[in-house]
Amino acid sequence: MQLITRVSELRGRLGDERSIVFVPTMGNLHEGHLQLMREGREYGDCVVASIFVNPLQFGPGEDFEQYPRTLDADCAKLQGLADVVFAPAVSEMYPVQQTIFVELPPIASDLCGAARPGHFRGMATVVLKLLNIVQPQVALFGKKDYQQLHLIRQLVLQLNLPVKIIGGETVRAHDGLALSSRNQYLSGAERAEAGFLYQTLQVMKQSLLQGARDFERLQQQAGSALADRGWLVDYVAIRNQSDLQPTGSQQWVILAAARLGKTRLLDNVEVDCVIQ
Ligand code: PAF
């Protein structure tokens, strides 16, 4: 495995590669990331992982400074899984002030975008830059960040980027908590509670599968169940898998974001239902 920090060196290294698979990350790797690397291996010969904490996607007062940076440990985990690790400095990714950004559709200001204005614009801009730098045939992103994955699919589709996007399944802890680098911000007591978010989504899923169709009520009940246990709920929403609009299809996704103390947790579950 080769660690590369410069764009020019990366381009030189990848110049002769015929099938490049790319897994962009912000580092502090956990089993969810490693699973994406393993899955990526099935799609091509050269697996490239990037590790870059992108300042553009953090808002004022968010955790850009505190975000865990663990490059040595990450590289150790990537041995045997990635062929190349691209870990640029901020000055390498943004050598001049970034004044050109990806303009996103209105859905980017809904759900997580409502609580984090500008987040998806910064995310999409860095993903476009990374795809241009690495030029992979395939790129993998976790389904845990469902709205992010949706926007990346639209970015690729609408800007004709020659890359196939694969969504990797969410990897969970024993109590259902979706793995995330931010889970380490949780105190012991918060960690013991954190699995309740997934359990709440599972209860909603069962209700939908059993025929419940009052979405407002289901969303409200789930929000109250979380709030009663001390969660600060950003949203619980049942949407179409395809466009994240309020339901109209037969394939739904229940998405939620809620805070436990200072930690904001995200999760979602897909539900395939036939509308009665
Ligand atoms: O999901 C992430 O880790 C980041 O948003 C990404 C896609 C690497 C862009 O910075």
Alpha helices, DSSP H only, in the chain? 7-14, 31-41, 71-78, 90-93, 112-115, 119-134, 146-158, 188-194, 196-209, 215-228
Residue 132's domain comprises: 2-168
Last residue of some domain: 168, 201, 218? 168
Beta bridge partners of residue 22, listed in sequence order: 48, 139
Take atom 3 of ligand 1 and give the residue whose Cα is closest: 25
125 belongs to a structural domain: yes
DSSP per residue, 243-275: T-SBS-SSEEEEEEEEEETTEEEEEEEEEE---
- The answer to whether position 256 is within a domain reads yes
pLDDT the model gives residue 248: 81
Of the candidates 13, 10, 41, which has an alpha carbon nearest to the alpha carbon of residue 133?
Answer: 10
At residue 250, the pLDDT reads 85
Confidence of residue 265 (pLDDT cuts 50, 70, 90): very high
**Domain end marker among 168, 200, 215:** 168
Asked if residue 158 and residue 256 are part of one domain, the reply reads no
Q: Taking all residues of the chain, what is their mean pLDDT, rounded to a whole number?
A: 97
C-alpha of residue 97 to centroid of ligand 1, in Å = 20
Same domain, 84 and 119: yes
The tally of domains found in the chain comes to 2
In a domain, 276, yes or no: no
Closest CA to 177 of 193, 192, 189, 194: 194
C-beta neighbour count of 160 within 10 angstroms: 6
Give the pLDDT confidence of 124-174 residue by residue, as tens digits. Answer: 999 999 999 999 999 999 999 999 999 999 999 999 999 999 999 999 999
Specify the ligand 1 atom closest to the Cα of 25: 8
Which of 22, 23, 26, 70 best tests ligand 1's pocket when mutated (most atoms within 8 Å of CB)?
26
| Distance from residue 123's CA to the centre of ligand 1 (Å) | 6
Is there a domain that residue 12 lies in? yes
To test ligand 1's pocket by mutation, which of 145, 156, 170 has the most ligand atoms within 8 angstroms of CB? 145
Cα(210) to centroid(ligand 1), Å: 35
Residue whose C-alpha is closest to residue 139's, from 120, 152, 126, 154: 152
**Mean pLDDT computed over 24-37:** 98
CA distance 191 to 170: 18
Yes or no: say if 26 and 53 are a contact pair by the CB < 8 Å rule: yes
Which residue has the least CA distance to atom 5 on ligand 1?
Answer: 123
46 sits in which H/E element: strand 46-51
Residues with CB under 6 A from ligand 1: 24-26, 54, 57, 123, 126-127, 145, 148
159 and 77 assigned to the same domain: yes
Closest C-alpha residue for ligand 1 atom 8:
25
In the reported structure, the alpha carbon of residue 91 is separated from the centroid of ligand 1 by a whole-number distance in angstroms of 18
Residue pLDDT, tens place only, 176-223: 999 999 999 999 999 999 999 999 999 999 999 999 999 999 999 999
Q: Please check whether residue 82 lies inside any domain of the structure.
A: yes
Question: Does 18 share its domain with 153?
Answer: yes
Domain shared by 45 and 15, yes or no: yes
How high is the pLDDT of residue 25? Answer: 98
The residue type of 210 is Q
One domain, residues 91 and 59 = yes
- Domain shared by 245 and 136, yes or no: no
Catalytic one of 30, 33, 119, 174: 33
Q: Which pLDDT band, with edges at 50, 70 and 90, does 273 fall under?
A: confident
Q: Give percent above pLDDT 70 in the chain.
A: 99
- Residues 141, 207, single domain; the answer is no
Mean pLDDT to the nearest integer, 4-25: 97
Report how far ligand 1's centroid is from the alpha carbon of 51 (Å): 9
Flag whether pLDDT at 274 surpasses 60.
yes
pLDDT at 275: 53
Query: Is residue 274, in this structure, part of any structural domain at all?
Result: no
- Report if residue 275 sits inside a domain: no
273 Cα: distance to centroid of ligand 1 (angstroms): 30
Instruction: Write the CB contacts of 172 (distance below 8 Å, at least 6 apart in sequence).
Output: 178, 179, 198
Q: Which of 105, 135, 168 corresponds to the end of one domain?
A: 168
Do 232 and 112 lie in a common domain?
no
Q: Are 50 and 130 in contact, with CB atoms under 8 Å apart? A: yes
State the pLDDT at residue 115. Answer: 95
232-251 residue pLDDT tens:
999 999 999 999 999 888 89
Q: Residue of the nearest CA to atom 6 in ligand 1? A: 25
Token pair in block for residue 64: 């850009």
Check which CATH number belongs to the domain holding 189 and give it: 3.30.1300.10
Residue 24 covered by a domain: yes
DSSP-derived letter for residue 120 is H
Q: Mean of the pLDDT values across residues 51-76?
A: 97
Give yes or no: residues 202 and 111 share one domain: no
CATH label of the domain that carries residue 89 = 3.40.50.620
Same domain, 164 and 250: no
Rounded Cα–Cα distance for residues 163 and 156 (Å): 7
Look at 77-81, 223-227, 272-276 and tell me which has the smallest mean pLDDT: 272-276
DSSP, res 208? H
174 among known catalytic residues = no
Q: Is 122 helix (H, G, I), strand (E, B) or coil?
A: helix
Same domain, 197 and 158: no
Residue 178 DSSP label: B
